[in-house]
Structure 1
């Protein structure tokens, strides 16, 4: 095999790997968002449990994004607190997501690495 053939084959493999990675990123991002949602759900104050039960992750508007949200309207007031009547903030979303950035990044990286390994066999 000549040098040119080796380079062409390597370039083909890189193009193939690029497609695999591009397809694996959205699934990895959603898996990371689901982990963040689980963490926020565990930290959510519970009275009836509706707020904690409403926390979910879904794909974002961009291909490589995801959203974690609480489906009840009052979750913002619980997270940030209110002025009148005075209710102290009881953060659960922000610590659940931002407090686990490293772990979420690891989940995304692991999903991409597993997809590449699976497809490159």
Structure 2
């Protein structure tokens, strides 16, 4: 299973495959989350083809919190499905967050929808 992390932006987030296309920073105007998922899948496949072990995606930005939650959930599902689909060089996917509020949102979505156990939660100590 791939490891997924929501991390703070720093200089150390360049050791791996860095996704810098601005299209990954915003939800499509059509709000079509399948299109967004397709973009992530293509980038995951490209990174795996290059033999990357770690991929860094920029965090999304959206003024609508419900839409942002749905988009983040779709992204996580796409990443997990990619990891479950077969053998890949990719071991870790990091979402690089511009600020702590957006990082918290990514962590909340993961913990609410995907963490099956307390140990599987994304947690930096703020909830325990």
- TM-score, normalising length: structure 2: 0.23
Q: Please state which structure has a larger fraction of its residues in helix.
A: 1
Question: Higher Cα Rg: structure 1 or 2?
Answer: 1
Q: Please state which structure has a larger fraction of its residues in strand.
A: 2
